[in-house]
Amino acid sequence: MPNVFKNKSLDNFLGAFLSQSIFVPFTAVYLTLTKSGLTKKLLGGIYFSLIELLFLRLRVYKHNWWRTVYTLILIPIYFVISDYWYYLLSKKNEFIRKISFFLMIMVTETNLFLLLAFLRKFRFGWGRYHAWTEHFIITPLYSITFSLFSYFTFKKNNGYWAKVKVVLFDACLYQIFIRTKIFKTKIKVINYILIKSVMVLVYGTYRKWIFGGNRKD
């Protein structure tokens, strides 16, 4: 990601975040919904590979273990998997619906934390100084814990009390991380709860999309 932040490592993190959370997934959804064939999927792989090569040429991005040929091969495969996943969802495959619901919560939660971190509203870490590498290690752990509780709560019921339980659980996690000094934030508690309350409503909507209704399953 070219020079959005002065910190080069953070620039790379932001570039990866935008690519893996927005550009590639949105392209996959578009290709799936428009029932695009293999040719367009291959062109998508070539497009993202060319962008990667451009960033390498401009020296705003560098490889560690990754290689552009991986992008060229794996992106079209990802698009094909997207088609098959959507097909199984349309057939109401129970396993795929469950996995999809959990992943929707976890990815949204992780992206929310990353966005607020980029805005310098809070950061996870150990000790007095919270490094970015620490933040990106702890964020998935927090998100997975919260997402598992949310998944099992909403899977049973999508009513008002289920949403309250999820918000209360998140408030408890928040207090634990604050008191153990693993979590630094500039957001007031009441504002944090309001943000997470809105997100809980979003997750309830995800549940309706995947399973439908407020009934117990």
Task: Show Cβ contacts of residue 78 under 8 Å, excluding neighbours closer than 6 positions.
Answer: 24, 28
The pTM of this model reads 0.81
pLDDT value at residue 11: 61
Closest CA to 23 of 48, 53, 59, 55: 48
Where residue 148 falls among pLDDT bands split at 50, 70, 90?
very high
pLDDT value at residue 15: 65
Average pLDDT for the chain: 83
Least confident span in 3-17, 134-148, 158-172: 3-17
pLDDT value at residue 79: 94
pLDDT value at residue 88: 93
pLDDT digits (tens, 9 = 90+) for 48-86: 999 888 877 877 667 777 888 988 999 999 999 999 999
The single residue listed with the structure tokens 């399953």 is 217
pLDDT value at residue 141: 83
pLDDT digits (tens, 9 = 90+) for 117-143: 777 777 676 666 656 667 777 778 888
pLDDT digits (tens, 9 = 90+) for 10-22: 666 666 667 777 7
> Domain ranges in the chain?
1-91, 92-217
Measured CA to CA, the distance from residue 117 to residue 9 in angstroms comes to 14
Say if residues 72 and 49 touch (Cβ distance below 8 Å): yes
DSSP β-ladder status, 183-185 and 122-124: antiparallel
